[in-house]
Structure 1
Amino acid sequence: MIKLISLLIYNIIRISILKLIHPNRFNVHLIQRISPSASLITSGKGKFNIGYNTEISKGCDFEAHGDGVISIGTGTYFNRYCMISAQRSVTIGAHCMFGPGVKIFDNNHKFSKEKGVSSQLKCDDIHIGNRCWIASDAIILKGTHIGDNCVIGAGCIVSGNIPTGTLVKHKSDLELISMK
């Protein structure tokens, strides 16, 4: 109980300072459970919108670059070492759960057969609905839209549209199930 109260007080101070230093860039409710070792970084005009009582565990690294916006709904939980990189927009609904090591990128580097990899980026919005569970080490790529009440299985790489109520898992998992 003392540890939780200490963490809440720490976050009230931390968020208040961020709001003072970066006015209009941290629309973050003061009641949060954000680990002291989690980083919320903005560069350029990057912004954070975080609802009430979100938990961000140790080692998480959330970065809003350029005009990027990271929006997280109320009561969402991020386990250890999650990463979000937003150059454009990453929106996560309320009451979602993220396993350890989840990575979310709304951008990737441009590349071509002739010139190779460039420092220029391609970006597209990411939207994750309410009450979703993104299991450990899943990777969510640019342009992904996940509906409400979805489960993305451990280690899955997701791109595109995932309809509401969908369970996404590895093909090998399906093969194991069919053998029973």
Structure 2
Amino acid sequence: MIDTLNKIFTVIYSIYFNFKYLPFSTAKYLPIKINYKTRVKIDKTSRIVVKDYRRFSVKLGLQGTPFVSDNSSSTLTLNKGATMLFYGGCVIGQGQNIYVDNNAKIVIGNNVYINKNVLIQCTNLISISDDCLIGWNVRLRDTDGHRLIRNDIEIERKKSNIYLRKNVWLAADVIVLKGSVISEGSIVATGSIVVGLKLEKGNCLIAGIPGRVKRTGITLEN
């Protein structure tokens, strides 16, 4: 009974969300399905752009591995001038926390699956290309976060983009920090922390803290 009510509330809220935050020409297709428990804070100057008009092609705060517990609620924050762009079908699982700062941009490709409890903090640009698979409890952050002071002088907080190329797999509990470029077809092993690693050669296995290339010629079997 509770599951049925949750599904009904989610559909009702999704209809409201589409027509509130998307242009009418897009909203009428209802491309976004969002968990009704999601705490949403979207500035009127920000944009959500959906290129795939299929009904509920984009799912936010929904699904995920059953045996992994999720955070009590999901959040979606788009500040002034922020953009969130979906190029195709996408699932972002329960417990998501997505924060897009002023004038920043998140780009998500087609056929992207992100498991439960992802945290994405975007202050400039985070790009997730087609066919990427992201495990549970993953963190993507393109900024240092807090201010740092050295000898009474503030150290500049630099922003540096994150790029996940096509068919990348981030396993569970991975952290990807600013300036990282994960090459096409590459895999980041569970618990690794990638700090500014820039890969051009594809199909690498990355592991460790900080993450380094451990193997090449690796292919993920679907």
- TM class, shorter-length: 0.7 to 0.9
CA deviation map 1:126-149 (0-9, x unaligned): 111011100111111111111110
User: Match for residue 35 of structure 1?
Assistant: 61
1:92–1:9 distance in 2 versus 1, CA, 3 Å: farther
Q: Distance in 1 between matches of 2:74 and 2:102?
A: 20
Tell me whether 1:46 sits opposite 2:82 in the alignment: yes
Q: Specify every segment of 5 or more residues in structure 1 that has no aligned partner in the other structure, as ranges.
A: 172-180
Q: Distance in 2 between matches of 1:31 and 1:130?
A: 19
Letter of the aligned partner of 2:83 in structure 1? Answer: K
Q: Any residues of structure 2 matched to 1:19-30 within 5 Å, and which?
A: 19=22, 22=44, 25-28=47-50, 29=52
Query: Any conservation in 2 of the 1:8–1:31 contact (CA below 8 Å)?
Result: no
User: Match for residue 180 of structure 2?
Assistant: 144
SS in 1 for 2:191: coil
Q: Distance in 1 between matches of 2:113 and 2:78?
A: 21
Letter of the aligned partner of 2:104 in structure 1? Answer: G
Query: Any conservation in 1 of the 2:83–2:100 contact (CA below 8 Å)?
Result: yes
Q: Distance in 1 between matches of 2:87 and 2:126?
A: 14
Query: Any conservation in 2 of the 1:80–1:100 contact (CA below 8 Å)?
Result: yes
Query: How far has the Cα of 1:22 moved from its partner?
Result: 4.1
Aligned partner of 1:16 among 13, 16, 19? 19
User: Match for residue 175 of structure 1?
Assistant: none
1:82–1:133 distance in 2 versus 1, CA, 3 Å: same
SS in 1 for 2:110: coil
Query: Any conservation in 2 of the 1:12–1:31 contact (CA below 8 Å)?
Result: no
1:81–1:19 distance in 2 versus 1, CA, 3 Å: same
Query: Any conservation in 2 of the 1:11–1:33 contact (CA below 8 Å)?
Result: no
SS in 2 for 1:15: helix
Structure of greater relative contact order (alpha carbons < 8 Å, 6+ residues apart):
1
Query: How far has the Cα of 1:16 moved from its partner?
Result: 3.4
Query: Any conservation in 2 of the 1:26–1:47 contact (CA below 8 Å)?
Result: yes
Q: Distance in 1 between matches of 2:92 and 2:11?
A: 12
User: Match for residue 135 of structure 2?
Assistant: 99
Aligned-residue CA RMSD in angstroms?
2.7
Give the TM-score, by structure 1 length: 0.80
Aligned partner of 1:58 among 94, 98, 120? 94
Q: Distance in 1 between matches of 2:193 and 2:120?
A: 14
User: Match for residue 81 of structure 1?
Assistant: 117
Q: Distance in 2 between matches of 1:90 and 1:64?
A: 10
Letter of the aligned partner of 2:194 in structure 1? Answer: V
Letter of the aligned partner of 1:87 in structure 2? Answer: T
Question: Which structure: greater helix fraction?
Answer: 1
User: Match for residue 204 of structure 2?
Assistant: 166
Q: Any residues of structure 2 matched to 1:101-116 within 5 Å, and which?
A: 101-108=137-144, 109-115=146-152
User: Match for residue 167 of structure 2?
Assistant: 131
Q: What is the percentage of aligned positions where both structures have the same residue?
A: 21
